[in-house]
Amino acid sequence: MKLKLTFLFLLFCYFNSLGQILTNSSVDSTVYYSFHIDYWVNLHHFLYQKAKGSQIAKLQEDGLEFQDIGESDIYASLSKHQRQQLDNSIKFYAQNLIQKDLLRDLGEIRVWLQNHKNSHKIKDTLISREYTDILNNASEVYKNTFWPVHKSHNLKVLQKHIDLIKDIESPVIPKIEKLSLNKWPANSKVRIDLTVYGNYAGAYTPSRPRMNIFISTIDPRALTLSFVETIFHEGSHLLFNYGGPWRGGITEIFEQNKLAIDYPIHLWHASLFYLCGKICKEEFSKKGFDDYIILMFDRNIFSEYRKDKHLLTLNRYYADKITFAEAITEMLNYLK
């Protein structure tokens, strides 16, 4: 742990001394979010999922499959040399990186990649000389084959949803602020990286060294309203943050009641899923989308906290009929 923290500190100092490099990845922004389509971040996720396959496995488990954006045709058109370059890079990821989690273990690579210019050859070897060579070799193939299609698809998904996101974020975020007992940092925008591939779940949000949402656009649900709810859900992690009023409040009430049960580590997240989903559903309905099913139900998330009594309590809290402390106490008692 000390070694990892030292590395992240040195990484931070490195980029501070270097100055913030313009990556040309920014494509749009709203009051609360800045959207990016980053070349190196997309290549990184592409190689990771081609090596691991965890995202397609999860989609198949859900009865879904990746959107067809023409990747098979692109791969078939590659020369023998190009295929070997790409396959060698995927093999490197399989042998060295897929054992590590994108969210918890690969933050130093993510930050490092975001600070390099789009498609320009990487010269520094901060991670390792071998890794720099692997990325540059993969880039020789990727930049003129898969990347134009990936970039175009990312833009297509964003353009499908951006007007709705801009339209409803003003009511959505303040409602989540009220429910979370927290405030969005003033003049702060959460960075969202649109990547064709993502982690196994299709979206994840690291909080260090800064809040950063990564969301896959090749997931078929990216073309539905689920994408918009995912944006607000992942952004709401900033408000339901570790040590914040909601999560800290659960811990305090749990300890005060001296309950003879295991600490419910997912209660905060299940509550966030339901409350954010409920807010989004109401806003979608105002725009004429009346048949939306929230992510928690559609993807069968946290079924242990989806019992009628839990949801009834959250509904009462949402309607200002009970306080936060009363809501958490009730839900903890249901777990006895």
- pLDDT (average), residues 15-28: 59
Q: Is the pLDDT of residue 18 over 90?
A: no
pTM here is 0.90
> Comparing C-alpha atoms, which of 40, 54, 55, 237 is closest to residue 142?
40
Q: Is the pLDDT of residue 24 over 90?
A: no
Q: Please tell me the distance from the alpha carbon of residue 132 to that of residue 246, in angstroms, as a whole number.
A: 42
* Cβ 176 vs Cβ 278: under 8 Å: no
Give pLDDT, residue 120.
Answer: 86
212 forms beta bridges with 191
Taking residue 164's Cβ as centre, other Cβ atoms within 10 Å add up to: 17
Residues 6+ apart with CB under 8 A from 115: 15, 18, 20, 21, 23
Confidence of residue 259 (pLDDT cuts 50, 70, 90): confident
- pLDDT (average), residues 81-94: 98
pLDDT tens-digit readout, 130-180: 999 999 999 999 999 999 999 999 999 999 999 999 999 999 999 999 999
pLDDT tens-digit readout, 299-310: 999 999 999 999
- For 237, the token pair is 């992690």
Give pLDDT, residue 209.
Answer: 86
Helix, strand, coil abundance in the chain, percent, nearest 5 = 60, 5, 35
Residues 6+ apart with CB under 8 A from 91: 51
pLDDT tens-digit readout, 50-76: 999 999 999 999 999 999 999 999 999
- pLDDT (average), residues 257-263: 91
Q: Is the pLDDT of residue 6 over 60?
A: no
Q: Please tell me the distance from the alpha carbon of residue 151 to that of residue 164, in angstroms, as a whole number.
A: 21
Give pLDDT, residue 119.
Answer: 75
- pLDDT (average), residues 225-245: 97
Q: Is the pLDDT of residue 184 over 60?
A: yes
